[in-house]
Chain A
Amino acid sequence: AQTVTQSQPEMSVQEAETVTLSCTYDTSESDYYLFWYKQPPSRQMILVIRQEAYKQQNATENRFSVNFQKAAKSFSLKISDSQLGDAAMYFCAYREAYGGSQGNLIFGKGTKLSVKP
């Protein structure tokens, strides 16, 4: 079964600095999708960024970028120029490309990010 591991329960970053959140996953599939979700104190789940496994180019969304290492099964999230509003729980998630009708998301346990002013 696929698993997603986030080894950092908590992280802290100074405002305007850069922080990297780690995620590793285990799968025997070659085609899949990876996601980072943000959950602020409001508890709403917000999609931050997505990556297709067959694409070598790392995804980027404004201040958010990923480092996708397929062979190492690693999918880290880099947040540049951190802002107070980035403080949240961040979840890494995996989804098979062809599982079931669409596959369900498998989540890691999350990393709580604090941003210091």
Chain B
Amino acid sequence: DSGVTQTPKHLITATGQRVTLRCSPRSGDLSVYWYQQSLDQGLQFLIQYYNGEERAKGNILERFSAQQFPDLHSELNLSSLELGDSALYFCASSVPGSYYGYTFGSGTRLTVV
């Protein structure tokens, strides 16, 4: 157990639908990062939150949004889903200080049918 909790582990939904992925960071970590890993792609950075505020945006589609709540858990909302959104979505958290890498959750496998 890495200490970063992602739910659900698997999600199957239809095109056009909306889903919410949830992430609880490791205790003490203020930053949360969301990544997308498609079948033949590396990890694509989506968005970062730090202590409730958005800090950096990567290749995140307008159909996707995220937020970090006062208790530091984060949610990634994916709407108007398309087949191409099928991927493994990772959440990661980190301690202050760039020396440390991220601690990753086990990911949410999203399948859009």
A binds B: yes
A109 at the interface (CB under 8 A from B): yes
Q: How large is the interface on A (under 10, 10 to 19, 20 to 34, 35 or more residues)?
A: 20 to 34
- CB < 8 Å neighbour of B48 from A91, A104, A110: A104
- CB < 8 Å neighbour of A43 from B97, B102, B107: B107
Q: A43-B88, A45-B90, A50-B101 are in contact. Are A100 and B43 (CB under 8 A)?
A: no
Contact between B42 and A110, CB atoms less than 8 A apart? yes
B106 at the interface (CB under 8 A from A): yes
A81 to B: closest C-beta gap in Å:
24
B21 to A: closest C-beta gap in Å:
15
- Residue-wise, chain B 17-52 has the 8 Å CB interface mask toward A (1 for contact) of 000000000000001010000000111010010100
- CB < 8 Å neighbour of A104 from B41, B45, B99, B106: B45
Contact between B102 and A105, CB atoms less than 8 A apart? yes
A32 to B: closest C-beta gap in Å:
8
Q: Determine the chain A residues whose CB is within 8 A of the CB of B90 once the complex forms.
A: 45
B residues with CB within 8 A of A:
2, 31, 33, 41-43, 45, 48, 50, 55-56, 58, 88, 90, 92, 94, 96-104, 106-107, 109
